[in-house]
Structure 1
Amino acid sequence: QVVRTHWTIENQLHWTLDVVFDEDDARTRKNNGPENLAIIRRLAHNILRAHPLDKPLASKMRRAKWSKEFFFELFTYMR
């Protein structure tokens, strides 16, 4: 059960941050920058997951880039 829980966290959060948000390619290295950006990425991840649209996170991100109305709609589902 412990191993299964670990991989659930890895697959649902870390993999998404690595692949969808390109966290591994981040070049921020100085001072508090990396930690600040990690917090912002996790906040964005939580907002995208809270939205009821049954689409992948990458699709929601793309749609938010294309439509200002959808971008603002995402914030109505913040917890």
Structure 2
Amino acid sequence: QDRSRLGNGPENLAVLRHMVLNVMQKDGEKGSLRGKFKRAGWDEAYLAHLLTLF
């Protein structure tokens, strides 16, 4: 059973998803959001950069 589907879980994840999208769009780097998500998964320095924008 997935707890994220119960109670306030879906709303909390939606808010978190919107926050992450806003940070990705605020980043000055060129490229697609899909590419930025992949790069954040591969490159720890880029992920740290995104977290500083948070």
TM-score by length of 2: 0.85
Determine if the alignment matches structure 1 residue 42 to structure 2 residue 23. Answer: no
Q: 1:75 aligns with which of 40, 45, 51?
A: 51
> What's the Cα RMSD here?
1.1
- Describe how 1:1-79 pairs up with structure 2 within 5 A: 28-78=4-54
Structure showing greater Rg: 1
TM-aligned CA deviation for residue 77 of structure 1: 2.5
Q: Say which SS state the counterpart of residue 5 (structure 2) adopts.
A: coil
Which contiguous aligned blocks of 4+ residues in structure 1 show a shift greater than 4 angstroms? none
Q: Per the alignment, in what secondary structure is the counterpart of residue 47 of structure 1?
A: helix
Query: Which runs of no fewer than 5 residues in structure 2 stay unpaired?
Result: none
Aligned residue type for 2:12: N
Equivalent residue letter for 1:53: E
Determine what percentage of the aligned residue pairs are the same residue. 33
Structure 1: tracts of 5 or more residues without a match: 1-27
Count of residue pairs brought into register by the alignment = 51
